[in-house]
Amino acid sequence: KGLIMTMSLKDLLDKSQFSELYESAALLKLISKRPNVGYDAEELRNILLENSTVDEIREFLTRTNNERFQQRLKYLKNHFGEDAFSKETFEGTARDFSVLLPLPKAKSNEDDDGKIPVHESPTELIRTKSKLERQIRTEWKEGSVLQVYSTSGDGWYKGKIARIWTRKSNGAVAVNVEYERDGKTYSKEMEISSGEIRPIMETESKEMKMLPPLNKRAVSVLYQPKLPIAKPTAKLPTKKEQKSIITKLLKKSSKIKPGDTRCIVSSTWFGAFMSHLDNKNAEELPVGPIDNSELYLDGSLEELKKGIKEDRDYKVICEEAYGILLSWYGGNPIIKRSAREVGVLRRHIALDLYPVVVTILRANAKGEPVQGSEKKMNFSRNYHLADIRRACGKKKVVKIELKDLEFEIGNQLDAKDALGHWFPCTIKDKCEAGGKTYIRVGWDDEQYCDEKYDEEIFLYEKHRFARVGTKSSTSEAKVAYKVKQKVWARLRYAKKRTDNSYIPEWTQGVIDLVKPTKRLARVVFIKEKTKYWYHMDSEEISNSKKKPTGGYVDGQEQPQQNKDPIEKIITPEESVRIWLPRQGSATEKNKKLWTLAKRELDGKTLGQLRILSGTKLLVEDIQLDGTWLIKEKPRNWRDFEVGDEVDALDTANKWYTSEVLDVKTLKDGAMQIFIHYIGFSSKWDEWLDAQGDRLARVGTKAKSKRKGGGDENTLGAPVARGAVGLNNLGNTCYMNSIIQCMSNCSDLTEYFLDQTYVQDINPTGTAQGRIADAYAATLDAMWNNKYKVITPVALRNVVGNVKKEFAGYRQQDSQELLSLLLDTLGSDLNRVTPSTKKEIKEKKEEEKKRKREPTVEEKFKEWWNREHERHNSVVSDLFAGVEKQTTTCMNCGDAYVRFNRLEVLSLMIPQKSSWFGNSTVQLSHCLDAYAKEEIVEGVNCTACKGKRRKIKGVQLYKPPKILVIHLKRFRMGWIGGEKIGQYINFPLTGLKLGNCSIDNKATYDLIGVSNHYGSTKGGHYTAFTKNAMNGNWYKCDDTHVRQVKQASVATRAAYVLFYKLRN
């Protein structure tokens, strides 16, 4: 439907993925089905014809051989009726195509050159151009002035018709148009009805200066634009007055603080506007209305394109400036964005270009959205789920009715944990063991809501239960216990508890260990020779000098509690519950569309939760009696959802904690889940019967997650923020070395830590976004300042899935891993998807028609635009450089230039004979060797026709922002190869590329080194990294990280160098 609404027949014919369908005339049949598209055949025909020119319709109908012609005609008659098409349809002139539309009576206006069908009906569809424009085109002749869309695709230019003739092949009128660009003359050939030429009309003169996006096909100036255009409302001042007003407002726009609102405007339009003010040429065409169409995704009126950058793509101005420009020139509606403080490594203020726009729906008692409750709210992608709770809730006072405790699944109450501290909790299960009844509770406190903190409490321990809100609300931190402090504590485990007749006694002890962050203290009972941990806020520990009194006497039940309602103040965050869209279920009976967001998700960002723009969230408000509106029944543990954890029995008959990755229903109604054994390679992932014996409730069968499964990070303060050790997972020092270097590429790390990467995830990428997620999680653990050592097992597993060589435990090459990471991340985060990717065609015929050969810069721009339409990611933004290869014939001097993209610059180490009389090899020597010209023999020359000697030269035409240099130390030979251990002297600051690059101003500073010690048969990798926050150098050797002096960074072990472009 989207294609039909926005594309013409010719556009569809030119798309390779549709050409076969059209050749068989099956597409019309396919898209005419109402269930798939929502249009009937007549409506589809009208839409197709409305977006197509007459010549395009003829091409569509006749672009085939006679046999296929008849087949196509048969299809068209079947769908559109016998009378809709006639022989004249295909043999007549362009004006005969009016028979395609069996519309009501149409009037005809007589013109000098014949009849032009004109329909008064608003449903007129054969309308390639307006009557006025058609008349102008028929009057064109040699020398006529018009506008032409340039071959290079950078906009409209003024040109004139150099030749006009009628083609013998199809009888169409064709023109050859000449135009000037950058002081040079170009020519372009097309049919007179083409949308890439247009008349210069006084009524539309304001639009003539507009430059359309590079990746859009030029359309007639008289076509309706996609974006609404407002008309000017104020008298246009003089250029001098305009410049004075806008200059003052631009200064105002530059002063920005968090929370301020700014507008963005297309750099193309704003640049044309500023040039217009500086140009004193009176004949210059006026600036057109504000056109921001190139900033939006194709077909969208709200979502901005990915990867747009300030100055290059848009200009930031204040709202007042935009309003004034809109009043002067008219144009597209205002684009407003809020400023916020961003960055983890370097805090700065920037506009939030891509806010997460979610739709908030209020819930009724049935768990369904209340009609008319939709409300759109904007959040930053690095906001947490708790922020949505606060934004959607409000402070309330509720009256909680105190009832007798009921130990039923799903009920809420206060309970005392094993350390003696009161927390609100929810009963998850009720079981029997040894003739005694116990309940399993999950703590509702945000810090302890994970399932691993769940406890099982026997019902006879009644002193550990209280009505919800009566105990947990008074559990405030009061005492900070210290080591060697004498205390009184209840010796809870000194006697086996079999019923409620036993009450723990107060016994004196000494604290020997404390954990202040967790508020835990360990008490040593000297007489009993035992040690137990207590929560500092517990009722079972006291710093009283005298023996405390209180507690229950033997055989006494828990004291009767006051049943009068109590008032409790509820914070905005506590006043709502968030329900997320349900991702899957293994129970066909359960048709719920929403699943309750657990409190442990409050600390997750919207990016991590994949809450993107367009997501709908169901919000449930707490009632005045303190209960929730939706009475949710406890979910059966076999009612699986994506993301659930479950114990699973593998094929080796061992139980492991696993994660549910997918859920499906078979034809026979049976349910299956696709599980991943946490900590293992995904090659062991498998489908299991949801009701089978190989599954058990999480925590009941598996002793623990596999070692190294992601929970092996070592808590503690790192040497410095980001200077974190990495566990070796079995000869993975090569991976640790590269991760450490990449982690200190600040622009890349900020991109992941700020959750910007989430909006760029490409589901059709090599790893479907998995490697981007794993790398983001690794960086988050390295920079959150919580761990001194982490285990990058998730990243290692995903990399092993992409390339099996990295899945085992053999030593690998760090440079090869780096290339794989850059390639896969670039694919996973490619902003160009199949739905938006254009088919790139070489314009060889048009190049031949040029009166002169394009310059190297023109060739590069054309090549780079095509490359950008294929690969557009953060990797290409930062790491991609462009290599220019020039091959020159030594006989005729003909030169051939080609460009290559590179992300790693591999340099040969010069032989001893070329060390310039010095035993030390400089990095500049390696760069010179890379750029040194060489003579190649027997190469065909297309200019002088024969095998010739040619000179081949290489240069960096576009240096990258992050220059990765690979020193080729390994040479393979028949006996296993050798390693070049020569010391390479490389600068730590101020690296100049010299003859290696055409950019003599590019200056680089070292930020990381991957070192290799050993030989080709084995060795060890380490890294030197310049911390992206404090600028100090650190040596990273797996789990060991220590600060070092800058002078110790350059060693003969240097293998891969990471340089960052200065400024």
Active site members: 733, 1020
Pairing of strands 506-515, 436-443: unpaired
How far apart are the C-alpha atoms of 706 and 721, rounded to whole Å? 28
| DSSP per position, 599-656 | GGGGGSBTTTTT--TT-EEEEEEBPTTS-BSS-PPPPPTTS--TT-EEEEE-TTS-EE
Pick from 776, 808, 810: which is nearest to 795 by CA? Answer: 776
How far apart are the C-alpha atoms of 147 and 155, rounded to whole Å? 10
How far apart are the C-alpha atoms of 395 and 401, rounded to whole Å? 19
Positions of E strands within 167-238: 173-181, 184-191, 197-198
How far apart, in Å, are the Cα atoms of 343 and each of 221, 267, 724, 1036? 43, 25, 19, 24
How far apart are the C-alpha atoms of 234 and 225, rounded to whole Å? 22
Count of other CB atoms within 10 angstroms of residue 341: 11
Which residue is it, tokens 């990295």?
806
Q: Calculate Rg over the CA atoms of the chain.
A: 36
How far apart are the C-alpha atoms of 492 and 421, rounded to whole Å? 13
User: Is 444 strand, coil or helix?
Assistant: coil
Q: In what order do the strands lie in the sheet with 184-191?
A: 184-191, 173-181, 156-166, 145-149, 197-198
Q: How far is CA 293 from the centre of its chain?
A: 22
How far apart, in Å, are the Cα atoms of 175 and each of 53, 54, 135, 154? 17, 17, 16, 21
Count of other CB atoms within 10 angstroms of residue 146: 19
Backbone angles phi and psi of 257, in degrees to 5: -135, 160
How far apart, in Å, are the Cα atoms of 864 and each of 307, 695, 868? 16, 53, 6
> Which element (helix H / strand E) includes 533?
strand 530-535
How far apart are the C-alpha atoms of 802 and 820, rounded to whole Å? 9
How far apart, in Å, are the Cα atoms of 883 and each of 146, 537, 712, 902? 39, 66, 43, 7
- What does the H/E/C string look like for 34-57? HHHHCCCHHHHHHHHHHCCCHHHH
Count of other CB atoms within 10 angstroms of residue 161: 19
Report the amino acid identity of residue 927.
Answer: L
DSSP annotation of 201:
-
**Cβ distance 941 to 950 under 8 Å?**
yes
**Cβ distance 451 to 699 under 8 Å?**
yes
| DSSP per position, 301-348 | SSPBPTT--BTTTEEEE-HHHHHHHHHHH-BSPP-EEEEEEE-SSS-E
Pick from 438, 421, 339: which is nearest to 380 by CA? Answer: 339
